[in-house]
Structure formats: structure tokens, C-alpha cells
Amino acid sequence: MPVALTVAGSDSGGGAGIQADLLSFAANGVFGTTALTCLTAQNPEGVSGIVALEPDFVAEQIRQVRRFFAPAAAKTGMLFNAGIIEAVADALGGEPAFPVVVDPVMVATSGAVLLDPAAIDALKAILLPRAAVVTPNLDEAAILLGEAPSCLQMVHGAAVELAGRYGVPFLLKGGHLDGAVVEDVLAQPDGTVRIFTAERVHGVDTHGSGCTLAAALAAGLACGLDLEKAVERAQAYLLAGLRNPLAVGGRRYIRH
């Protein structure tokens, strides 16, 4: 069985972070390993506390996984500060031996800050150029670009600009825009664009949807799919989980 690695934070509410990643890995046919970056105290109503682990310990988790398991792909999520970003990049290597999906987690749905603003430059300079694909939502793209895409045409242009700027593919997720159809834009550094569309599902808590998509994408790459096929499968997996949600605590959540 292929092995995938998630480098991300823990969500005590179970909906996002490594909890969602491991569920996504298992459902998509890979064995999941982890390197914890942060512990969060949270539930669906918000985040009350964050404890970041020491960067050296984060890196040691990655090294131990790599020594034994030889991951076929990895996914990064919440990294929180520049020290962790630097340690993760060093542990993965200058030219990672396997594809790395970078989900540039910055702000929680509740508004909690999940990346120190001082760490954004480190993310841009050290980690993004090493990615097999970067999967920002519109808020994260706005931080990376310096302006917020506010319509589908701007989303397409933003994806192309980001891919060209960092020299790696960007999958810019359009779920934060209004409309019955959600468009995700995959842009290559050469300007090539492919649009992935899906119906919008209402009435489901989307907390963890970004983690779920990125982890499923990493699983597809670990299984040997090319990038476009991996995006197709990951989007289908997320859509199925939204269409058939779990009812827990009076809310409906993505099913894995």
C-alpha cells in the first residue's frame, strides 16, 4: 500500500487538520503517517488556543517517517510560524523525493489566525517553490497576491499569476464565491489552465474541506495518478462527502 505523510496541526474537534487528513488518506487507498506541527483547542464554534511544537521536533517526526516508510507523497497544512516552515522545508529536502501538496493554511473559518503574519515571507520563499501543487482558497490567494479575487474571471487570472510567480501549479479553490456551481482553477507555470466544476452543496459545515481536498489530492499522487487525475478524484471524493454528510452534535459534517 502506498504511504502518504501529512505535516499539519491537530484539530481537537476532529473536523480538520491531521484528523481529516488521515481519514482522507485511508478512504483514498493510502497508509497515513503524520508529523504534528501544532495542537489546537477548538470545536465547531471556534479556536480557543494553539500550542506550536518545537521546529526541531517537527523535523524529527518527518525524518523518522522518511527513514522507515518512504512516503510516496506528502501534504502540508497548518505550519503556524517561520521556524516550523524552515524546519519542514529542510526535513523534506531542497528537491523533495516525492510530490508535496502545500495547503497554505492561514486563517480558520472562525477567523482564528493559523499562520503568524511574520511567517508569510518564509512560506513564499521556502516552501511554495518546492510544491508539486499549492491549494489556496480565495482568502489565502489574496494574501499571497496582495489583492482579493472577487469574480470568476479574477480567480482565473489570479491562479495563472500565482503559478507563474512561484513556478509551480496552483489549484485555486473558488468555493468562497457565490453561485450554484463552484469552480476550482488549476493553473500551470506555462499559463495552461483547467477548470474543475462541482455543484455547490448547501447545509453542510465545510470546516475541514480544504484539508480533505488537499489530503485526497496527495493520496492520488501517492497512488501514481498525474496531477489532473488526482485533482479530479480528490474533488469527487470531497463532493461525495458533502452530499452524504454525517450528523453530529446538531450539525452536518463531511463524511469520509
pTM for the full model? 0.94
Pairwise CA distance, residues 114 & 120, whole Å: 11
Distance CA 76, CA 215 (A): 9
For the chain, what is the largest distance between any 2 Cα atoms, rounded to a whole number of angstroms? 46
Q: 242: how many CB neighbours lie within 10 A of its CB?
A: 23
- The whole-number average pLDDT for the span 221-242 is 97
Bridge partner list, 199: 181
User: What is the model's pLDDT at position 146?
Assistant: 82
Which cell numbers hold the place of 152? 470568476
Residue-wise DSSP of 3-39: EEEEEEEEETTSSSHHHHHHHHHHHTT-EEEEEEEEE
For 11-59, what is each residue's pLDDT tens digit?
999 999 999 999 999 999 999 999 999 999 999 888 999 999 999 999 9
Give me the CATH number covering residue 242. 3.40.1190.20
Query: Which pLDDT value is given to residue 116?
Result: 85
17: left (phi over 0), alpha (psi -120 to 50) or beta: left
Placement of cell 453561485 in the chain:
179
The HSE-up count of residue 254 (CA atoms within 13 Å, CB side) is 26
Quote the pLDDT of residue 252: 94
Q: Who wins on pLDDT, 178 or 246?
A: 246
Asked if 12 and 42 touch (Cβ cutoff 8 Å), the reply is yes
Helices (runs of H) and strands (runs of E) counted in the chain: 8, 11
Written as one string, the DSSP assignment of 177-232 is: S-SSEEEEEEE-TTS-EEEEEEEPPPSSB-TTHHHHHHHHHHHHHHTT--HHHHHH
- Summarised one tens digit per residue, pLDDT across range 103-160 is 999 877 666 778 888 899 999 999 999 999 999 998 899 899 887 665 556 788 899 9
Q: Which residues pair with 113 in a beta bridge?
A: 107
User: Which residues have C-beta within 8 Å of that of residue 91, sequence separation ≥ 6?
Assistant: 35, 58, 59, 60, 62, 63, 66
Query: What pLDDT, on a 0 to 100 scale, did the predictor assign at position 109?
Result: 67
Q: Which of 44, 33, 16 is nearest to 74 (CA)?
A: 33
Question: In terms of residue numbers, what domain contains 114?
Answer: 3-253
Which residue, 190, 173, 116, 170, is CA-closest to 139? 173
Whether residue 130 contacts residue 161, with contact meaning beta carbons closer than 8 Å, is answered with no
Query: What does the pLDDT average to over 91-108?
Result: 89
Domains in the chain: how many in total?
1
